[in-house]
Amino acid sequence: MKKTLYLKFILAYFIFGVFSFIIVTTFVPSMTRELLVRDKAEHLYVEASRISDTYATGLYASETDLETVKEQLDSLAVYLDSTIRIINPSGRLVLDTDRPLNVEDEVTIENFDPTATSGSYYMVNDFFGNFDQEMISVFSPITYRYMVKGYVVIHCSMAEIQVSCNSMLNISYITLVILLLLSLIILIFFTEMVYIPLRKITYATEQYAAGNMHYEFQVESDDEIGYLAACLNYMASQIAGAEDDQKKFVANVSHDFRSPLTSIRGYLEAMIDGTIPPEMHDKYLNIVLSETERLTKLTNSLLSLNNLNTRGMLLDRTNFDINSVLRATAVSFEGTCRRKTIVIEMVLTGDELYVYADVEKIQQVLYNLLDNAIKFSHHDSVIKVETSVKNNKLFVSVKDSGIGIPKEDLKMIWNRFYKSDLSRGKDKKGTGLGLSIVKEIINCHGENINVISTEGAGSEFIFSLPLSEDEED
Ligand code: ADP
């Protein structure tokens, strides 16, 4: 299966080779032969025409005698390496450079037909059975007083042409072999640039499919294959990162569940075996109750995070008055604020201000932010909740003057289960999930949340929301 692409390419190369060979061995020989024959015929025709215009016409006009013409043509025949003949229209040989002149021994070519060339001035055959091998025979008519008196025919053996044809074909075959060998370079390129990287990619995908997301591979090229490999590497590293996060998440969840459960179990066992005397039960049952509250909070937070993740962008958006939601959320913290003598100051834009968002989710955002602000504020302090409108967006700010967040922790506070060392003393029930839920919700709305904080001076969380397009809603 793995070798299929390579085999296909080799097969294509083989088919290409076979076809090239067939074409070169079938078409090229006939074309070369035809070309050489035509060339030779043209050359001989020029000679034949010259002879018919000069010697032969002179012979018929009785200006020269047969012996003189024969002498001249004999030497020309040697020069042309051919046989020159003068033939009467009836087929009788008047002169033949291959035979001595003999008036008594009259030779006639049987079936001689000058029109047999069918419009051409030459023919390639045994010349009406007159030769025992293939000859090129070139015709040139001898005209005297507007009448065809005979023909000058030059015969040349095809064997000679065949020899030149073969040597030319040898050149073609050698060129073909060289081209086929050179085209092997394509095969080498294919192997280096496509096949080997593809094998690496296939092997990597097998590794990933088997769950080895940390497998890394290198494809050194800046073309599409290199890009594919880089994307695959990146995808695997992202999945590996997500897997690691998942593991960390599960470890954190287990840890956060285990500690309250351990303390609940410890107190209950101590109560049962009498280590804690009955008069102290109330106190410890309250601790157990607060631990169960922590577990409930943790479970609820995990459920909201899970819903946000799985439902992704599925928000139930409506146009609602953010001012009334802000006021209602602040009211829900009245009891806690009274205990810590904290004042929530509201600086709201307008009486009513409509935004387009998921009201329940935004309520949760405000609840988490105010909860943190109160948790990390000192007694007798003020928390300021402010809204402002800029660039057709609403900005909500929740500002406290509490313990603040150390600079090095600022980036981490959005991570799940993150609790700064500073906060641990102040907030024992915290799950470290509140801000990750907040960020997730705001990002789901396509908006942003930021924090400005100075350790020891306080923190300000600002997030944006889209204003309602139709304020009457
Ligand atoms: P938790 O539910 O434990 O409060 P969060 O995700 O809401 O978890 O907060 C994570 C951490 O961010 C907190 O443990 C705390 O260290 C820090 N933090 C959040 N809000 C504030 C704030 N208003 N002032 C100071 N620190 C804060």
400 lines ligand 1 (CB under 6 A): yes
Across residues 438-452, what is the average pLDDT? Answer: 92
Phi/psi for 191 (5° steps) reads -60, -45
The DSSP string of 168-218 is HHHHHHHHHHHHHHHTHHHHHHHIIIIIHHHHHHHHHHHHHHTT-TT----
458 lines ligand 1 (CB under 6 A): no
331 alpha carbon – ligand 1 mean position (Å) = 21
- Amino acid occupying residue 359: V
The two three-digit tokens of residue 175, written as one number? 């060129």
Of the candidates 389, 411, 405, 410, the one whose C-alpha atom is nearest the C-alpha of residue 464 is 389
Nearest-atom number in ligand 1 for the CA of 414 is: 6
Neighbours of 367 (CB within 10 A): 16
Interatomic CA distance for residues 49 and 37, integer angstroms = 18
Ligand 1 pocket mutation pick from 301, 308, 372 by most atoms within 8 angstroms of CB: 372
Distances, alpha carbon 10 to alpha carbons 1, 183, 202, 416, in Å: 15, 12, 20, 55
Phi/psi for 82 (5° steps) reads -150, 180
83-87 β-sheet, strand order = 93-96, 83-87, 147-157, 135-144, 122-125
Nearest-atom number in ligand 1 for the CA of 400 is: 23
Residues 6 or more apart from 97 whose CB is under 8 A from it? 70, 73, 74, 76, 77, 83, 84, 85
Whether the per-residue pLDDT at 146 is higher than 90: the answer is: no
Residue-level pLDDT at 473: 42
Ligand 1 pocket mutation pick from 367, 397, 413, 442 by most atoms within 8 angstroms of CB: 413
Ligand 1 pocket mutation pick from 293, 370, 412, 419 by most atoms within 8 angstroms of CB: 419
Residue-level pLDDT at 105: 76
> Is the pLDDT higher at 293 or at 322?
322
Interatomic CA distance for residues 272 and 16, integer angstroms = 90
- Amino acid occupying residue 316: D
C-alpha 137 chain-centroid distance: 64
Residue-level pLDDT at 401: 94
Interatomic CA distance for residues 152 and 56, integer angstroms = 8
> Residues 426-437: pLDDT tens digits?
566 677 888 988
Residue-level pLDDT at 273: 93
Could you tell me where the beta strands, DSSP code E, fall in 116-268? Answer: 122-125, 135-144, 147-157
Using pLDDT thresholds of 50, 70 and 90, give the confidence band for residue 424: low
> Residues 199-208: pLDDT tens digits?
999 999 999 9
Q: Measured in Å, how far apart are the chain's first and last C-alpha atoms?
A: 63
Residue-level pLDDT at 460: 97
Interatomic CA distance for residues 296 and 317, integer angstroms = 28
> Residues 52-89: pLDDT tens digits?
999 888 888 888 888 899 999 999 999 999 999 999 99
Using pLDDT thresholds of 50, 70 and 90, give the confidence band for residue 395: very high
Of the candidates 221, 22, 247, 39, the one whose C-alpha atom is nearest the C-alpha of residue 138 is 39
Q: Which of 168-172, 291-295, 324-328 has the lowest mean pLDDT?
A: 291-295
Residue 200 CB-half CA count within 13 A: 20
> Residues 281-307: pLDDT tens digits?
998 899 899 889 888 988 887 887 777
Residue-level pLDDT at 447: 94
Residue 427 CB-half CA count within 13 A: 20
Interatomic CA distance for residues 473 and 471, integer angstroms = 5
Q: What is the pTM of this model?
A: 0.53
Ordered alpha helix ranges (H), 210-280 = 224-272
Neighbours of 19 (CB within 10 A): 10
Whether the per-residue pLDDT at 472 is higher than 50: the answer is: no
Residues 6 or more apart from 60 whose CB is under 8 A from it? 142, 144, 149, 150
Residue-level pLDDT at 343: 95
Neighbours of 200 (CB within 10 A): 16
364 lines ligand 1 (CB under 6 A): no
